[in-house]
Amino acid sequence: DTAVSQTPKYLVTQMGNDKSIKCEQNLGHDTMYWYKQDSKKFLKIMFSYNNKELIINETVPNRFSPKSPDKAHLNLHINSLELGDSAVYFCASSHEGVETQYFGPGTRLLVL
Amino acid sequence: QKEVEQDPGPLSVPEGAIVSLNCTYSNSAFQYFMWYRQYSRKGPELLMYTYSSGNKEDGRFTAQVDKSSKYISLFIRDSQPSDSATYLCAVKAAGNKLTFGGGTRVLVKP
């Protein structure tokens, strides 16, 4: 009974490729997020969607494009991957106005 | 200066000891304070959530917030090897954006 799930768990790819990461939550939440965690464990928000509408868009290269087909799903597409994109990407979800966020297991991206 | 500062550790303690973790933040607009635990190769999981200054206790865990000093703490009593993890503080103003500290790695030795 995974609350927030992500696929794939691991992603190894070449520089310049385009890749997607998928996230699904079965908690009935209306807000979903993408975070990036670098090698020093620093966790930083990238995007947030509420009811399929983008509400947080931090300073992220426009090679990163989130897409929310419905409230339970938030995907992340990355174009022209660069070495610096190597990190762990976490999806999270919450109810709007409720402070606690629930995180997925992460997708480990390695760009060679 | 980062919005939230947290000593990266590692912090090594013997089993049964009290673990003391803390963060400082710079923006007085932050109203909500959280502690997350992250095991190696896992996602962060919420441990404690507080809103006001003061203490909040949950089992072996106590969270403290001092808004006047912009200082938050987490204490773990009777620490166990299973408490070995990275502990991340997080703060939030109004809205949904969480700002995390860099995490403190804790190692509890049997």
Residue B7 CB partners (closer than 8 Å, separation 6+): B22, B104
Which of 47-66 (A) contact B at CB < 8 A?
48, 50, 55-56
The pLDDT of residue A1 is: 62
Q: Is A107 exposed, middle or buried (0-12, 13-18, 19+ CB in 10 A)?
A: buried
Check: CB of residue A95 under 8 Å from CB of residue A104. Answer: no
Nearest-CB residue to A48 (from B51, B96, B100) = B96
Of B44, B49, B95, the CB nearest to A103: B44
Interface with B, mutate which of A33, A43, A57 (most B CBs under 10 A): A43
Enumerate residues 6+ apart whose C-beta is below 8 A from A98.
Answer: none
pLDDT at A89 over 80: yes
Model confidence band, residue A96 (pLDDT cutoffs 50, 70, 90): confident
Which chain B residues in 14-43 lie under 8 Å from chain A, judged by CB atoms? 32, 34, 36, 38, 41-43
What does the buried/exposed string (b/e) look like for A11-49 if buried means 16 or more CB atoms within 10 Å of the residue's CB? Answer: bebeeeeebebbbbbeeebbbbbbbbbeeebbbebbbbb
Contact A41 B97 (CB under 8 A): no
Give A106's contacts in chain B (Cβ within 8 Å): 41-43
CB contacts, 8 Å: A32 with chain B:
none
Both tokens of B3, joined, read: 């919005």
Residues A1-33: tens digit of each pLDDT:
669 999 999 999 999 999 999 999 999 999 999
Q: Which residues of B touch A50 (CB under 8 A)?
A: 96
Residue with tokens 């609350």: A3
Tokens encoding B63: 């969270």
Cβ-Cβ contacts under 8 Å between A and B: the total is 56
Q: Which ranges of chain B have pLDDT less than 50?
A: none
Name the residue among A43, A50, A96 with its Cβ closest to that of B100: A43
What secondary structure does DSSP assign to B67-81, as a single string? TTTTEEEEEESS--G
Instruction: Please check whether residue B89 is in contact with residue B35, taking contact to mean a CB–CB distance below 8 angstroms.
Output: yes
Would the CB atoms of A106 and B49 count as touching at under 8 Å? no
pLDDT tens digit sequence for A33-70: 999 998 878 899 999 988 888 888 887 899 999 999 99
What local confidence, expressed as pLDDT, does residue B110 receive?
94
User: Nearest-CA neighbor of B8 among B18, B22, B19?
Assistant: B22
Q: Provide the strand spans (E) within B17-82.
A: 19-25, 32-38, 45-50, 54-58, 61-66, 71-76
